[in-house]
Chain A
Amino acid sequence: DQQVKQNSPSLSVQEGRISILNCDYTNSMFDYFLWYKKYPAEGPTFLISISSIKDKNEDGRFTVFLNKSAKHLSLHIVPSQPGDSAVYFCAASARGGSEKLVFGKGTKLTVNP
């Protein structure tokens, strides 16, 4: 039972355009969401997070949108750069108890020059 789903295994965009990565979740107890970027042979690197009390959070070129009613979040990267090419993981944690993260399977983003 996959509680966090990233339905697009891969995404290819042109440099300078917008990249939109999507994530769906099923557990209504999730109240904190994170995006991580992962390069080959490295550990995941934290990018941006959002609490369920917000519907948008921005950090430079990265914006995360949360739609609680649809149990959907998205990561927008504008403008996309070749260095953004990596695997992006969506993760969620539930209120109360451990802060363990539940991860999606990732989306491989390729930004073409």
Chain B
Amino acid sequence: DSGVTQTPKHLITATGQRVTLRCSPRSGDLSVYWYQQSLDQGLQFLIQYYNGEERAKGNILERFSAQQFPDLHSELNLSSLELGDSALYFCASTRQWGRNEQFFGPGTRLTVL
């Protein structure tokens, strides 16, 4: 158990809908990262937050947005969902700046029908 929690574990929805994925980092971790893993793909970096502020953006679609709250949990919002958004979404956290390994949650499997 990495100490990172993600909810829900599974999510099935229809095209055009909007969903929110939630992540609670390890206790004391200030940095949260979101990654997407599509079929047969490695994990793709989406966005990073550090202590409530957006720190870096990867290949995140404009239909996607995220935020980190004062209690350091983070939410990833996916809207106008398309079939291609079906994937595993992972959250990871690290304690602080620097070369610390990232600890991953169990992921949320999103299926768009």
Contacts and interface: CB of A to CB of B under 8 A. Distances in A.
B42 A106 contact: yes
A44 B42 contact: no
Interface string B36-55: 00001111110010000001
A59 to B, nearest CB: 12
Nearest to A47: B101
Given A34-B101, A43-B104, A46-B103, A102 B45 contact: yes
A51 B99 contact: yes
Interface stretch (A12-20, A68-76, A78-86, A92-100): A92-100
Given A32-B99, A43-B2, A49-B101, A103 B43 contact: yes
A49 B94 CA distance: 15
B104 A45 contact: yes
B53 to A, nearest CB: 12
Given A99-B98, A100-B58, A43 B90 contact: yes
A4 B41 CA distance: 12
A101 B33 CA distance: 9
A92 to B, nearest CB: 11
A43 B107 contact: yes
A89 interface: yes
